[in-house]
Structure formats: structure tokens, C-alpha cells
Amino acid sequence: MIKILPNCIGCGKCVPVCPFGALSLENRKAVVNSACTLCGACVSVCPVKALQMPQTAAASADISSYKGVWVFVEVIEEKGALKNRPVSLELLTKGRELATELKEELCAVIIGGNNSALYAELSAYGADKIYSVEGPAYTDYNTAAYANAMIALINKYKPSIVLYPSTYTGRDLAPRIAAQIHVGLTADCTGLSIKGQNLVQTRPAFGGNIMADILCPGHRPQMATVRPNVMGRKVVSAGKMAQVIMEVVPVTAEAGKVRIISKEMEATAEVEKLDEAQIIISGGRGLKTAENFNLLNAIATELGGAVGASRAAIDAGWKPKNHQVGQSGVTVKPKLYMACGISGAVQHIVGMENSEVIIAINKDGSAPIFNVCKYGIVGDLHQILPKVLEAIKDSKK
């Protein structure tokens, strides 16, 4: 809650300013109740500076001592080999831009069983330094162990900015770190830039109706998660090798309590991971039944792509949640995105509008999906899709 200092003169100016009704006057002094969200809106209206945001350790530390842009590198296993998850390379590309503007270093932080094969690519994507934490205890992702390692490094080196992928791992890890080091975290950013010495974290707000720019001028590090496929990817220093700094972080007793008993891969061989697929055939409420998705599955299999869905189709139980494309699902950027029976609500569009080629099939010629597609077919998908499948099969003969 906001702190009210004894010099309050009871002028009442702060009371109507609070959007949450958390302030009132009692015995000619301001009092605050538990509705306070620490939004800070009241602080500047007090004529005697009697309202104070609580200071955390990180806030009160000298923020000028925090330097450098860090990227937490997520590693995945593919066909038995470890690789940097593509979103990590997207974050390094954006991190390079930010670090250059700040005239600071770009550092990749990689935690795992054996990281050495991954350094060259991180260097090519612009990392000046790589902090590497290795050991058998880090082979599999473990929230407590990874958070503990990140916190140890953050406290030791004091980065100004730390970026995480907005994946299952990043979404699990980043909030735990933020809570433990008492800093904020902006989730699912769609844009990052620098203003002065601060990170401008842009993300959709109020159901995607506005874009909010979020700054954390009083706390370090500034931390954000970014979805896959939102930022571009660019090799900037091919052949250059970053300085690798090996760090030893003992695993805590809490982390040691977690044991991985078995691992199961979610994506089957024929259905690629949605956020990395180059071809996506997506279905919406217009498909009418779960069985009709079989047609989309068949087209995706023929083309070597993945199947996506709108939230309406997910809510209807026609596809599992991890197939959802959009604001509250996955952001995709394939070469081809085919939207079948999807109206094109803004929450869907934000998740697929960066696709190279969008094809829409909808029986309603005024559906908003036609505003973002390159090729549009107005008609009944139940008649069109079997012909599309047939044509693809014919073209292979």
C-alpha cells in the first residue's frame, strides 16, 4: 500500500484522484485501505509530498550501477540434439539494437546440462558475452533451480534489462525472478525501445484496443517477456565469438526436491510446433464440428504444416488449447497462414497478421479477415476445402 507520511495536512486532494477508492480522510489525515494497487496516481497531487511509494531494495539501490542488456536463452531438444529456441535468437536480435543504443553490452544467459554447442549461434546473433551455468542438475528445466541461478547472476552483475521468451518456460520463470528481486515484469511485449536510459515496453492493453507503453524508471533490472515471432531475427556478427563466462551456481535444497520422473513430447512428428511452423491451416467456428478439423489436419499433413484454431474453436473443444492462435494463444509468423471459417476478430489478427501470405475462406464477404489477407475466397468452406485437398494431392502426382 502507499505510505502516508506524518506531514499530511489533510487537504483531501489525493482522495478523488485514486481510481480504486483506496484513499479517504479520517481525523483530518489521509488513510489508505487494502484496495490500493500501488498505481502511483496520487503521489504527484499531494502538495506536501506526504504520499510515498514503498521502496524495495532494488528501487533504492543506485540504478546507474545497473548496466547491460541480458537475454535468457531457452534451449530445446530437437531430434536428439540441443538447439537455441528461435525466440531466443529473436530476443538477441532486439537486444542487440537496445544494447547498441544504450552503448552497453548484450549478454546471453544460458543454463543447461551442457551448453558449449550453442555458444557460436548466440555469438552470431550479436551477444558480446555469454554467461553459462552448466551441470547435471540443470539438464532439465527446473523452475526453482533456474530462477535461483538467474537471481545469483543478476545480483552479481546487475544488468539494466533482462528479456525472457514468452513461452511456457519464460512465463514460468520470469515472474518468480521478478517477485524474488522485487522488480516489475511486463508480459507479452510486442515492442521494445529506449527512451533516455529507460526501456519502453509496449504491449496491448484492454483487450487489444490500446497499446500501452510501460516504463520502470525507478527499478532495475527492467524485465519483460516477448512472444515468439513478434521480433525479427538477424545474424549480425557471423564468425565472431562472444566471451564465455562459466558460472557455478549450487542448486538449492528447494530446487533439489524436484525430480523429473518422465518426459513426454507434446507435438507429434507430423504436426510441427505451432509457433515455429512455416505453414499453418487454421479453423474457426465456421468449421461447425471437431470432425471437420480432420480436413484441416489432412491439408496440413499434405503440406507439412501445423493446424491452428481460433479461440471460438478451442472453447468449443474442437482442438486442444495449445493450437490457439491469437492474443491469448500463440503468435505465429509462417510463410502461409490459411484462415478457414474465422471472422478475423482483433484478438485473432494480432496473433497471425505478420504471416507472409494469408489466405482466408469465409462465406461472409464482409468478414474482417478479408482486410488482412492476401487472397480471399468468399464461399462455403465445406465445399472449398475438399477441392483444395484434392488439388494438393493432384499436384503431387
**362 makes contact with ligand FAD (CB under 6 A):** yes
Angle at CA of residue 372, ends 369 and 374, nearest 5°: 110
Amino acid at site 13: K
Helix or strand run (H / E) with residue 181: helix 168-181
Tally of CA atoms within 13 A in the half-sphere of 53 that contains its CB: 15
Element (H, E) at 283: strand 279-283
- Residue selected from 25, 347, 354, 372 as contacting ligand FAD according to rule CB under 6 A: 347
End-to-end CA distance of the chain: 69
Distance (Å, whole) CA 297 – CA 306: 8
Q: Which of 150, 163, 149, 75 is nearest to 116 (CA)?
A: 75
The 111-150 contact track toward ligand FAD, x by CB under 6 A, reads ----------------------------------------
Q: Smallest gap, in angstroms, from Cβ of residue 314 to ligand FAD?
A: 8
Total number of residues that touch ligand FAD (CB under 6 A): 29
Q: Is 171 among the residues that bind ligand FAD (CB under 6 A)?
A: no
Q: How many angstroms separate the CA atoms of 72 and 216, rounded?
A: 19
Out of 203, 319, 333, 348, the only residue in the binding site for ligand FAD (CB under 6 A) is 348
Nearest distance in Å: CB 7, ligand SF4: 8
Burial class (CB within 10 angstroms; exposed 0-12, middle 13-18, buried 19+) of 199: buried
- The distance of closest approach from Cβ of residue 8 to ligand SF4 in the complex, given in angstroms and rounded to an integer, is 3
**Segment interacting with ligand FAD (CB under 6 A) among 17-25, 218-226, 238-246, 308-316:** 308-316
| Shortest distance, position 280 Cβ to ligand FAD, whole Å | 13
Q: E strands within 206-251?
A: 210-214, 222-226, 243-247
Which residue, 55 or 383, has its beta carbon nearer to ligand FAD? 383
Show the cell assigned to 165.
521468451
CA–CA separation, 234 and 230 (whole Å) = 13
Contact status: 84 vs ligand FAD (CB under 6 A) = no
Partner interacting with residue 30 (select from ligand FAD, ligand SF4, none; CB below 5-8 Å by kind): ligand SF4
Outline where 191-345 has alpha helix (H).
253-256, 293-303, 311-315
Residue 324 found at the interface with ligand FAD (CB under 6 A): yes
112, 221, 305, 351: which one binds ligand FAD (CB under 6 A): 351
In the complex, minimum distance from the CB of residue 379 to ligand FAD, in angstroms, rounded to a whole number: 7
Count other C-beta atoms under 10 Å from residue 205's C-beta: 12
Rule CB under 6 A: say whether 342 interacts with ligand FAD: yes
Q: Which does 285 bind (CB under 5 to 8 A by kind): ligand FAD, ligand SF4, none?
A: ligand FAD
Determine the distance from the C-alpha atom of residue 343 to the mean position of all C-alpha atoms in its chain, rounded to a whole number.
Answer: 25
Stretch that binds ligand FAD, among 10-18, 148-156, 179-187, 362-370 (CB under 6 A): 362-370
- Interacting span for ligand FAD (CB under 6 A) from 1-9, 149-157, 245-253, 361-369: 361-369
Question: 345 contacts which partner out of ligand FAD, ligand SF4, none, CB within 5 to 8 A by kind?
Answer: ligand FAD
The shares of helix, strand and coil residues in the chain, as percent rounded to the nearest 5, are 30, 25, 45
Q: Which residue has the cell 557471423?
A: 238
How many C-beta neighbours within 10 Å does residue 108 have?
30
Is residue 68 a contact residue for ligand FAD (CB under 6 A)? Answer: no
Q: Which of 86, 112, 126, 286 binds ligand FAD (CB under 6 A)?
A: 286
Residues that bind ligand FAD (CB under 6 A): 207, 284-286, 310-313, 324-329, 341-343, 345, 347-348, 351, 361-364, 367, 380-382
